[in-house]
């Protein structure tokens, strides 16, 4: 009897525990798959959390601060170097000025007029040197600006935006010589408000740069023919080299002035280095395109004397140097017009040499 009562009490306690575990009411009858989807949506859609503890975002902030500090250091280094150069130049100028004042005072006190004359000569020499240095620095900056202008022209030509191209071309037009300003005015009169950067740059190249390019190409042809004829009549190899060097330097100076680039000594040296670097690393396509002209020259040299053959070679070399100089001095790459090759020079060169043979 006691065992039956114990079993009944245990079973009654078990039923009570199970009743407590059962829900008091059923909200809805939902299939298992829908219940899983509902739970998934409820877990995915959460309210945005607001970070109030600064330590929780310290990692990302530290990373961004580190990147900013590295960028600032990279930008600040050239500025610091430039600042030290400016301070050094100011120090030298200040000490020189103080030395001049002391020298003038000594001349006045001792009546050493001969020393005063030498002091004036020294002052004029220093002034001349400083003037030349300033001009050289400006010419180097102008040559560097020309390279940056060409790259910026490419970037604008490849963008369909409106407005930036006109400003860019106007800045180029201001750098051109005064005798070409009427071409810039004609380009401005042809502009329309709806023109894109591509159309503005193409119009500027056709209306402004193309006439200047024709003058520059005629100048290259003239110097190439002159160099070829001079080499043909020159009896000495050393004289041949000097003639080619002289004609090329004169041609480079004239080509730079066509596009408003005033070159000093070091600016000219820098341009010559860029020209020969471009010729050295010329693409295979350019070499193949000029192969026909070289073959034509070889065929001609087989029928003429060796001196005229040397003149033809010098003329071809001068033409290549002139074309590279034109590309470096031009403020725009060849966008809407065809880039001139050696074939544009060869006909004129061969014609002049043929006249010389007769």
Phi, psi of 230 (to 5 degrees): -65, -40
Q: Decide: 166 and 194 in contact? Cβ < 8 Å.
A: no
* Residue 60 covered by a domain: no
Residue at 333 is within a domain: yes
Residue 342 · residue 272 · CB < 8 Å: no
pLDDT at 78: 54
What is the phi/psi pair of residue 160, to 5°?
-85, 15
Average pLDDT over residues 143-147: 82
44 has a pLDDT exceeding 70: no
Which structure tokens are listed for 139?
């010419």
Reported as a pLDDT band with limits 50, 70 and 90, residue 279 is: low
Mean pLDDT of the region 22-39: 42
Instruction: Provide the token pair at 319.
Output: 């033409």
Owner of token pair 């192969």: 291
225 in a domain, yes or no? yes
Domain that holds residue 347: 208-357
Of the ranges 99-108, 206-215, 314-323, 342-351, the best mean pLDDT one: 206-215
Is 268 contained in some domain? yes
In a domain, 287, yes or no: yes
Q: Please check whether residue 201 is in contact with residue 155, taking contact to mean a CB–CB distance below 8 angstroms.
A: no
Q: Does 51 score more than 80 pLDDT?
A: no
Please count the structural domains in the chain: 1
* pTM exceeds cut of 0.85: no
Q: Could you tell me if residue 291 is inside a domain?
A: yes
Q: Phi and psi of 29, rounded to 5°? A: -95, 105
**Chain centroid offset of residue 146 CA:** 8
């Amino acid at each position: 009897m006691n065992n039956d009562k114990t079993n009944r009490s245990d079973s009654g306690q078990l039923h009570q525990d199970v009743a407590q575990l059962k829900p008091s009411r059923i909200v809805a009858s939902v299939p298992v798959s829908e219940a899983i989807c509902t739970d998934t949506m409820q877990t995915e859609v959460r309210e945005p959390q607001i970070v109030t503890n600064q330590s929780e975002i310290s990692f990302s902030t530290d990373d961004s601060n580190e990147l900013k500090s590295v960028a600032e250091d990279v930008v600040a280094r050239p500025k610091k170097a430039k600042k030290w150069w400016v301070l050094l130049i100011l120090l030298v100028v200040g000490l020189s000025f103080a030395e001049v004042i002391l020298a003038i005072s000594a001349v006045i006190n001792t009546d050493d007029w001969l020393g005063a004359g030498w002091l004036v000569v020294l002052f004029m020499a220093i002034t001349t040197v400083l003037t030349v240095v300033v001009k050289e620095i400006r010419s180097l900056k102008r040559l560097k600006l020309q390279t940056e202008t060409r790259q910026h022209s490419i970037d604008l030509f490849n963008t369909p935006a409106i407005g930036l191209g006109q400003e860019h071309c106007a800045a180029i037009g201001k750098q051109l010589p005064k005798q070409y300003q009427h071409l810039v005015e004609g380009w401005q009169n042809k502009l329309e408000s709806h023109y894109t950067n591509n159309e503005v740059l193409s119009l500027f190249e056709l209306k402004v740069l193309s006439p200047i390019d024709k003058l520059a190409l005629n100048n290259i042809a003239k110097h190439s023919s002159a160099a070829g004829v001079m080499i043909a009549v020159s009896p000495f190899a050393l004289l041949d080299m000097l003639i080619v060097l002289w004609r090329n330097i004169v041609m480079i100076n004239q080509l730079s002035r066509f596009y408003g680039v005033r070159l000093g000594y070091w600016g000219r040296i820098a341009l010559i280095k860029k020209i020969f670097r471009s010729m050295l690393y010329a693409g295979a396509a350019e070499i193949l395109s000029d192969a026909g002209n070289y073959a034509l020259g070889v065929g001609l040299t087989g029928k003429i004397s060796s001196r005229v053959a040397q003149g033809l070679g010098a003329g071809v070399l001068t033409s290549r140097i002139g074309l590279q100089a034109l590309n470096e001095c031009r403020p725009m790459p060849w966008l809407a017009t065809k880039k001139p090759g050696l074939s544009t020079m060869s006909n004129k060169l061969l014609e002049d040499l043929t006249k010389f043979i007769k």
